[in-house]
Structure formats: structure tokens, C-alpha cells
Amino acid sequence: MLSRTADHLYWMARYTERAENLARMLDVSYRMSLLPQASEVVEQSWLATLSIIGVIDAFRQLNKPATPANMLNFMAFDRNNPSSIYNCLKAARENAHAVRGTLTSELWETMNSTWLEMRDIGKRKHSDAEIGDFFEWVKFRSHLAHGVTQNTMLRDEAFHFTWLGTYLERADNTARILDVKYHLLLPDEDELSSNSAADYYQWSALLHSASAFEIYRKVYSDVITPHRVAELLILRSDLPRSLHRCMSQAYMHLCDVRNAHSAETERRAGELQAALRYGRIEEIFETGLHDYLMRFIDRIKDLGERVARDFLVSATGE
């Protein structure tokens, strides 16, 4: 297929996935902020969320008070924030529009109507009560896009590049969610045993953000501990949003589009997947979870750049 087409599909998928994970992240922050706690703590938690997404400076430039409402609005609806959900859905639709002939009509209609609805939602005023519904809506539209992709697209390169984008983005986002929440919840890593009611809510909110709360119960049938939460979200091969799962899927789709230049990219993806497959959570904590996640995010970035070079912007006459 055309390199440019693959590029648009890959980014359509990444932006759709990014919007979904933003909604998940913001939803958790919002719910956590409703717990009885000091307002500084709430504000701190919001600032942490903005910092993992990498938009803290952009927000400060607005010179608006760092109230939860302002930050939430900035991340969800702000047209001038390139990382807002609003703009992610816009970018997803623009990428889809550029290659709409390659999409099934069902998938195009899904992408287009998501954007049209987002545009209408963006024009309205929002009450606090509605914001939860909005995040649900974003997740629902993303589920719909995934389902339509899965059930209508031919299993060709277009399909593989779409999922490759989805899983690389999800791997990055899950790592970031985990990092920020972990940092926030455990400023001191020696306190792994702390077990207050507030902590319980925080951990369960984190699990909810990865749709993993019931799964945790099912897998461990035990109380929620930080170690296990990390293990579940990093190493479990059967949790759809875990790093391991994302990487094995990304690796598989990468092999499906293999070309004459992609051997090294494939090797690196395979290496990363193997490390997750055979890794142990104790070791990860020994190196330090934050360092581990930062290194992981860098390696995902490296893979993204290599995919772009190998497939998406091929040089003349190779």
C-alpha cells in the first residue's frame, strides 16, 4: 500500500487511542478529586496528570488558576491545546478523511460522526455532572472504532498498520498512567505496605482507568496491593491494556507488514516483548518502577520513529 496511506491509518489509530486514554486518565483524576481530602492534594494530583501528558507548560502559559475545573477543561475541550481530547478526535478524523477511500464505509462513518458529535459537544457548556458522561462517551466511541475495525476491515496491510498504531500508543499511555499514579500514591517507595482507606480508593481508581478492577479481583482474589497492580498492568499477557499484551500485539502486526528494511525494528520490538514475557515484578521494583517505565516509554518512542522510517516515509527509488 501507499506509504502515505499507511501513515494516515497509523496516526488515525494513535489519535483515537490517545483520546480514549486521556479520557480514562482524566476520569480517574476527576473521581479521585471527589474523595475527601485537602484541596492542595487534589490540585497536586491534577498537575501530575498534566505533567505526564507533557502539557504542564502549555497550561501555565494560559495564566489561569490551576483549579481542577480549569485543568479538566483544558485537557478535554480546549481548542488551542493540541493534546486535548477535542483535538485528538479532530486529528483522528482528519487522518481518516485523508484516506477515507481505504477505510470501510462503516469505519469512515464512525470516525466522521465521532468528530461531528465532538464538535457539537465542544460548543456546549458543561456541568460537573456531565463530565463523567463525556468520558464514557469518548471511551464508547473508541470501543466502537475498534470493533468496527476488527469486524469490517480486510486483513491486509491497512489493518495491520491501524492496529500497530493502536498498540504502540496504548503501550505508551498505560506506562504513563501507571507512572504518574504510582508516583503520586507512593512518593516514598518504602511505604509499600501502607493500607489506608484513601489508598484503597486510589488504587482501585487506577485499576478502573485500565478497565482492570474486576480483572484484578478475578486474577488475585485478594486485597489490592501496589505490587500486584503493577504486575497486572505490566506483565500479565492476558490483560488487554497491559504493557506485555500491547507489545506482543504490536510485534505481531509489525511482523505482518515486514519489508526489506524492517528487520532491526522487528528485532527491537521482539526484544522488548521478550523482556516483558520473562520479566519478574521484583526485578522491576529493584531497578525502580519510575526508571523502568521511563526506559520503556523511550523504547516505544524509538520503535515509533523506526516504523516511520521503515514504512511511512520511504525514500525515492529504493
Long-range pairs for 27-30 at CB < 8 Å and ≥24 separation?
Answer: 27/132, 27/135, 27/208, 27/209, 28/177, 28/181, 28/205, 28/206, 28/208, 28/209, 29/68, 29/72, 30/68, 30/72, 30/131, 30/132, 30/135
Q: What is the nearest approach in angstroms of another protein to the Cβ of residue 54? A: 26
The verdict on 260 binding another protein (CB under 8 A) reads yes
At CA 115, angle to CA 112 and CA 116, rounded to 5? Answer: 85
| 152 near another protein (CB under 8 A) | no
CB of 142 to another protein, least distance (A): 18
Please report how close the Cβ of residue 88 comes to another protein at its closest, in angstroms.
17
- Report d(CA 24, CA 30) in Å as an integer: 10
Binding residue (CB under 8 A) for another protein from 67, 194, 237, 259: 259
What is the residue whose three cell numbers read 519510575? 290
Number of residues engaging another protein in binding (CB under 8 A): 30
Alpha-carbon distance of 99 to 6, in angstroms, equals 9
Residue 5 CA: distances (Å) to CA of 30, 84, 147, 209, 303: 37, 25, 21, 32, 19
Regarding 102 and contact with another protein (CB under 8 A), the answer is: yes
Span near another protein by CB under 8 A; candidates 24-32, 43-51, 132-140, 253-261: 253-261
CB 86 within 8 A of CB 78: yes
Residue with grid cell 526508571, as numbered in its chain: 291
Instruction: Please tell me whether residue 97 binds another protein under the rule CB under 8 A.
Output: yes
**Member of 100, 126, 139, 228 binding another protein (CB under 8 A):** 100
Site string for another protein, 7-46 (x = CB under 8 A): ----------------------------------------
Q: Does 94 bind another protein (CB under 8 A)?
A: yes
116 is an interface residue for another protein by CB under 8 A: yes
By CB under 8 A, name the binding residues for another protein.
1-6, 94, 97-102, 105, 108-109, 112-113, 116, 157, 161, 257, 259-260, 311-312, 314, 316-318
